[in-house]
Amino acid sequence: MASIQKTSKGYRAQVKSLGVRDSQVFATRREAVEWAALRELEIRNKASKPAGNLHTLRDALRKFSQEEAPKRRGTRWEQIRLQAFEHYPLPLDVPFSQVDATHIAVFRDYRIGKVKPGSVLRELTLLSAVFQVAKLEWRWIKDNPCRDIKKPPTVPHRERVIHWHEVRRILRELDYRWAERVSSKKQAVGLCFLLALRTGMRAGELCNLHWSNIHERHVRLPMTKNGKRRDVPLSSRAQRIIVQMQGWHEVSVFNLTAASLDSLFRKYRAQAGLSGFTFHDSRHTAATMLCKKVDVLTLCKVFGWSNTKQALTYYNPSPSAVADMLG
């Protein structure tokens, strides 16, 4: 309901309707009354429209970045991608409820011409998350248009297993010394790589490994990629690697970030004259080695897989190795 008050500067019209407050000062009472009536009508009309008509895709991207991304893993990268979306061919200023599958398909085709299918899939997954939250939490829309388009083909999983002659060459380049305490960052990279081969831990898990996570015969990872805690058993060889890291840093075992680990690993791999494998391929290699010692269910427990089918992704024995098993 509007109220009109006389002030030293004229007439102040105050409006309070459906939780919205507004006020403005006018020279005459008539102007104040007319403005108040129009403002109340505007508020009622706006409230009667679906929320999806009152916001744009740009609004949704920014709202998701500010409110939802901080709750998710990979916050920084999601916020970078969400900001980048504002520079792609998306209907950013169209009412959110009018964004449809055709718009998303145009975005998909544009990105397919710029980046690899795997990157397009990740971007579509994030965009779909924005629409899904807008549907379930914000009540802006009834349907998620990202679910009505054809996705790029799933990227085949890598099947690269690092051979031991490659491991030895890169460890030499990283100045690895058996049973000696680490004394340089490149040696820390070498021991980090070796522990990845012995345990199957991911680069991020190793970089976030603190001494408080280390136990006598296992490592406790409080947070992993799937959002769950995982205990990783330590073989006698893995335990020796942990001992070599003692004294390097009082809190972090390796004192490396994921970015520096990746950069240094690529640098010394190239200096060793090697190519064709990444640090993450150590996980495939570890799975292929460990499967010879444990059953599939135990392997899934060690690697944190909830589905035994995932073991087929990482277990990559050579035909000759299978032939040796057959006898």
pLDDT at 54 over 90: no
Instruction: Report the range of poorest mean pLDDT among 1-5, 32-36, 319-323.
Output: 319-323
Query: How far lies 170's CA from each of 138, 148, 285, in Å?
Result: 51, 47, 15
Q: How many CB atoms lie within 10 A of CB 287?
A: 23
Q: Two tokens at 292?
A: 């010879």
Evaluate whether 239 touches 274 at the Cβ level (below 8 Å): no
The pLDDT of residue 47 is: 59
CA within 13 Å, CB half, 58: 8
Q: How many CB atoms lie within 10 A of CB 221?
A: 21
Average pLDDT on 284-301 reads 83
Helix crossing, 185-199 with 281-290: angle to 10°?
40
Name the residue with tokens 């040796």. 324
Q: How many CB atoms lie within 10 A of CB 60?
A: 23
Strand runs (DSSP E) across 99-143, as ranges? none
Residue of 88 and 157 predicted with greater confidence: 88
Average pLDDT on 79-84 reads 94
| Residue type for position 163 | H
The predicted-structure confidence for 137-196, as pLDDT tens digits, reads as follows 998 999 999 999 999 887 667 778 899 999 999 999 999 988 889 999 999 999 999 999
Sequence-ordered list of residues with C-beta below 8 angstroms from that of 171, at least 6 positions apart, any chain:
190, 193, 194
The pLDDT of residue 318 is: 66
Q: Two tokens at 212?
A: 């408080």
What's the farthest any 2 CA atoms get from each other in the chain?
102
The predicted-structure confidence for 90-105, as pLDDT tens digits, reads as follows 999 999 999 999 999 9
3-state helix, strand, coil in the chain (%, to 5): 55, 10, 35
**High-pLDDT (> 70) share of the chain, %:** 92
pLDDT at 315 over 70: no
